[in-house]
Amino acid sequence: MSPLRIGVAGLGTVGAATVQLIEENAQVLALRTGRRLQITAVSARDRDKDRGFPANRYRWYEDARALAADPEVDLVCELIGGSEGIALDLVRQALRAGKHVVTANKALLAHHGGMLARLAEEHGAVLAFEPAVAGGIPIVKALREGLAANRIRRITGILNGTSNYILTTMRETGRDFAAVLAEAQAKGYAEADPSFDVDGIDAAHKLSLLASLAYSCVPRFDAMQPEGIRAIKPVDIDFAGQLGLRIKLLGTARLTEAGLVLRMHPAMVPLDAPIAAVEGVFNGIAVEGDRVGTTMFEGRGAGAGPTASAVVADIVDIARGLRLPTFGVPAADLVERNLAPAEDLVGSYYLRLEVVDRPGVLADIAAVLRDHQVSIESLIQRGRDPEQPVTLVITTHEAAEGAMTRALAVIAGLSVVLEAPTMIRVERA
């Protein structure tokens, strides 16, 4: 069979690792695909950078979009990044030219997934994105194929290694967010501008794609309101431990009668939940299906090797002739799902209040919660010193998020409450 001719756009760490993987594992790849994988052209800005292979081995384009027009390219790997600009241009032009596209670009698909899936289909091309979610963990394949017999009840995931590393290190060292972030930046685990990672945006991109696979819908990142981990304090990590809980930046997707639930925010999970054991730079995803029960997938969620592994897995699929629609169902069957209003969602909460130690304070707070139909599950009071500040930690039974938010607003206005209350959701499921 003729070789599959590949153009690689973007030769950062992932792009270079992809080229090396295809060259170094050529023999086993040819055995598994029955077809040679041949890199014919590459594109990057800096031609002279040392990437571990000679730049002149492949046709070189300054402008990645030229790959879309190269008749000797059957498949384009888009490893440039960014939801607009050259990446978007390249993917559109490549698909229009009937070339297959493998992309690691979650932002691109989270914003334009529906349109690009349609475009791929119209031109008989495959648009695949295993490397866009959870690095080398084959979770896209698991949802699209391995668990395809199931109605998916729930996806719960730790999808950003940088924030998971920061939370794990904060817990292990007792240091605060700013200090651990600075260290992570120094070590190269976090970007100079860490916003995508620590504000939950990158993880929300990924979650929106997993939900599209599970619930046959256009990605709804636009409607998400991700919350990140900047506000997490060592004191809350400590209290979580005392309560048998662990704080994670947790994504949740499920389908309810009120709409799609698609949430990314810090949450406290039970220490014995499998997801709690996903630590450091690792990613983990628990998928609950109506037949299979809960299956759990764990591995390195980023890095050159794991991401290149996923890029080449998609290439292998295409070389073997797999022709599945981007989100597992034909683009015309993708539904536009509304998100369930956050305020109607029911959950449990951890509250930390800094209050004046004075008789009646607890009664006042309890009354506010009661008035909003929020019932207290447990209470810890730390410190005991009349008229001095004391920390009050409350966990609640299940309550609507709107009620909880309104109750908190009232509590925040009480004169005995000394600083803005902290609220972190508790996910026991």
Active-site residue flag, 206: yes
C-alpha–C-alpha distance, residues 9 and 79, integer Å: 6
Nearest to 226 by CA among 284, 181, 169, 266: 266
C-alpha–C-alpha distance, residues 157 and 275, integer Å: 8
Residues 182-221 interacting with its own copies (rule: CB under 8 A): 216
Nearer to its own copies by C-beta: 161 or 347? 161
Nearer to its own copies by C-beta: 234 or 303? 303
Asked if residue 294 lies in contact with residue 286, where contact means CB atoms within 8 angstroms, the answer is yes
SS (H, E, C) 189-239: CCCCCCHHHHCCHHHHHHHHHHHHHHHCECCCHHHCCCCCCCCCCHHHHHH
Residues 108-137 interacting with its own copies (rule: CB under 8 A): 130, 135-137
C-alpha–C-alpha distance, residues 390 and 417, integer Å: 10
Nearer to its own copies by C-beta: 57 or 323? 323
Nearer to its own copies by C-beta: 74 or 401? 74
Nearer to its own copies by C-beta: 84 or 333? 333
C-alpha–C-alpha distance, residues 324 and 120, integer Å: 10
Residues 11-40 interacting with its own copies (rule: CB under 8 A): 17, 21, 25, 28-29, 31-34
178 part of the interface to its own copies, by CB under 8 A = no
C-alpha–C-alpha distance, residues 327 and 324, integer Å: 8
Asked if residue 140 lies in contact with residue 268, where contact means CB atoms within 8 angstroms, the answer is no
Q: In whole angstroms, how close is the CB of 169 to its own copies at the nearest point?
A: 17
Sole binder of its own copies in the list 98, 293, 341, 389 (CB under 8 A):
293
Which stretch in 63-71, 196-204, 308-316, 354-362 sits in contact with its own copies by CB under 8 A?
308-316
Give the other-Cβ count within 10 Å of 48's Cβ.
6
| Interaction mask 249-288, its own copies, x per CB under 8 A | -------------------------x--x-----------
Which stretch in 113-121, 164-172, 303-311, 411-419 sits in contact with its own copies by CB under 8 A?
303-311
Q: In whole angstroms, how close is the CB of 168 to its own copies at the nearest point?
A: 13
C-alpha–C-alpha distance, residues 282 and 28, integer Å: 27
Residue 428 backbone phi and psi in degrees, to 5: -95, -15
- Tokens 């790959």 sit at which residue? 67
C-alpha–C-alpha distance, residues 420 and 59, integer Å: 59
172 part of the interface to its own copies, by CB under 8 A = no
Choosing from 106, 206, 233, 248, the catalytic residue is 206
Nearest to 265 by CA among 293, 220, 299, 231: 231
402 part of the interface to its own copies, by CB under 8 A = no
| Interaction mask 215-254, its own copies, x per CB under 8 A | -x--------------------------------------
Sole binder of its own copies in the list 80, 308, 353, 424 (CB under 8 A):
308
Q: In whole angstroms, how close is the CB of 255 to its own copies at the nearest point?
A: 11
Nearer to its own copies by C-beta: 330 or 389? 330
Determine the length of the chain.
Answer: 429
- Which two tokens mark 387? 């008229």
Sole binder of its own copies in the list 97, 179, 292, 414 (CB under 8 A):
292
**What are the start-end ranges of the H helices in 332-400?**
361-371
C-alpha–C-alpha distance, residues 423 and 413, integer Å: 15
Which one-letter amino acid corresponds to residue 229?
I
Sole binder of its own copies in the list 297, 347, 353, 374 (CB under 8 A):
297
Nearer to its own copies by C-beta: 225 or 294? 294
Strand partners, 157: 251, 285
C-alpha–C-alpha distance, residues 239 and 356, integer Å: 19
Rounded (10°) CA dihedral 141, 158, 217, 116: -70
Tell me the site size for its own copies, rule CB under 8 A.
59
Q: In whole angstroms, how close is the CB of 376 to its own copies at the nearest point?
A: 32
Residues 328-367 interacting with its own copies (rule: CB under 8 A): 328-330, 333
- Which two tokens mark 74? 């059957």
329 SS3 class: coil
Nearer to its own copies by C-beta: 228 or 328? 328
Nearer to its own copies by C-beta: 216 or 381? 216
Strand partners, 376: 396
Catalytic positions, written as ranges: 206
What does the binding site for its own copies look like in residue numbers (CB under 8 A)?
17, 21, 25, 28-29, 31-34, 130, 135-138, 141-142, 145-151, 216, 274, 277, 289-300, 303, 305-306, 308-313, 315-317, 320-324, 328-330, 333
